[in-house]
Amino acid sequence: IICYCATLFCAARPDIGPIHVFPTSKNKKKGRQFVWEASLDSMTRIGSSKETSVLHWSSHYEDERDSIASMKRVSQKLVESYPTWLAKGSVTFGLLHARRQQKQQHDKDEIVLQPKFINFNLLSFGKTKVIRVNRRRIELKIPVTGGFFSAEHGRERDRGCLTFQVIREEVKKDEDYKSCCHFCTTISGDYRPTIAAGRSDRRKWAYLSSQSLVHAYVMWRFHRVWNNRVRYVC
């Protein structure tokens, strides 16, 4: 953490990382390394973050198509549960609550993340969308639809999104595992954190040293869940 803060305040640019903030394995051959990087554009105040981990395991399926189908089911189900997973006591220490709401009669349900005992929208998410599914890649997206941590900007409806990608890698025959995947999560689109709104450098660094760091911790936990689920199911 001390090294992170030193890098944060000495950096000439608003980009941070890649940093091995929460390493999950000392043995690189086993995979599961977690790498995080974040940035905040000084002009537009658009924030982004990227987390990656690698998983090596022996698939339970002989047929690659069955393995891919299983991974798609597991990944989609897990990603769809992400907004409610955030409210688990083991993740956010029982401080948050997730509830479903419908803005208008014909709108799709969204999930609102709020403090446990206060009706205050911290962050809300739309329905998970499947962007791409093929032999090499699975990509899903959860749009950010509102909340305190997402600043409004003009009449634009795009408040950014969370993107989840599973990328399969070719495995050499002499390796002691059958499958290798990169799991990549990103904050992308036009996401502008409220904490960093305005032109003050103090607010920029406040975001990168608080909300951004909390996001890295949460994603580290989520990557561990995905890794374990895939390892034992797919």
How does pLDDT run across 133-169, given as a tens digit for each residue? 888 889 999 999 999 999 877 655 688 999 999 988 7
% pLDDT > 90, the chain: 31
Structure confidence at residue 145 (pLDDT): 92
Stronger pLDDT, 94 or 31, i.e. the higher one: 94
Q: pTM above the 0.85 mark?
A: no
Q: Tell me: the pLDDT tens digits for 195-227?
A: 888 777 788 888 888 898 899 999 999 999 998
Whether 9 shows a pLDDT value over 80: the answer reads: no
What's the CA gap between 149 and 109, in Å, rounded?
20
User: Do 15 and 3 contact (CB within 8 A), yes or no?
Assistant: no
Compute how many other C-beta atoms are within 10 angstroms of the C-beta atom of residue 63: 9
Stronger pLDDT, 194 or 68, i.e. the higher one: 194
User: Do 140 and 125 contact (CB within 8 A), yes or no?
Assistant: no
The tokens describing 24, both together, are 């999950």
What's the CA gap between 124 and 149, in Å, rounded?
9
Stronger pLDDT, 199 or 54, i.e. the higher one: 54
Query: In 60-142, which ranges are continuous DSSP H helix?
Result: 64-80, 82-85, 89-92
Which one, of 163, 225, 203, 226, lies nearest residue 40 by Cα? 203
Q: Which of 65-74, 153-162, 171-180 has the highest mean pLDDT?
A: 65-74
Structure confidence at residue 19 (pLDDT): 60
Residue partners of 140: CB distance under 8 A and separation at least 6: 75, 76, 79, 128, 129, 130, 131, 163, 164, 165
Structure confidence at residue 105 (pLDDT): 54
Q: ω into residue 14 within 30 of 0, thus cis? A: no
What's the mean pLDDT when you consider all of the chain?
80
Whether 12 shows a pLDDT value over 50: the answer reads: no
Average pLDDT over residues 26-35: 60
Residue partners of 34: CB distance under 8 A and separation at least 6: 20, 21, 22, 23, 24, 51, 52, 53, 220, 223
Structure confidence at residue 107 (pLDDT): 57
Chain centre to alpha carbon of residue 212: 11
What's the CA gap between 18 and 51, in Å, rounded?
9
Residue 189 Ramachandran class (φ > 0 left, ψ -120 to 50 alpha, else beta): left
Burial letters 2-32, b for 16+ CB under 10 A, else e: eebeeebeeeeebebbebebbeeeeeeeebb
Structure confidence at residue 149 (pLDDT): 92
Which one, of 28, 17, 31, 45, lies nearest residue 207 by Cα? 45
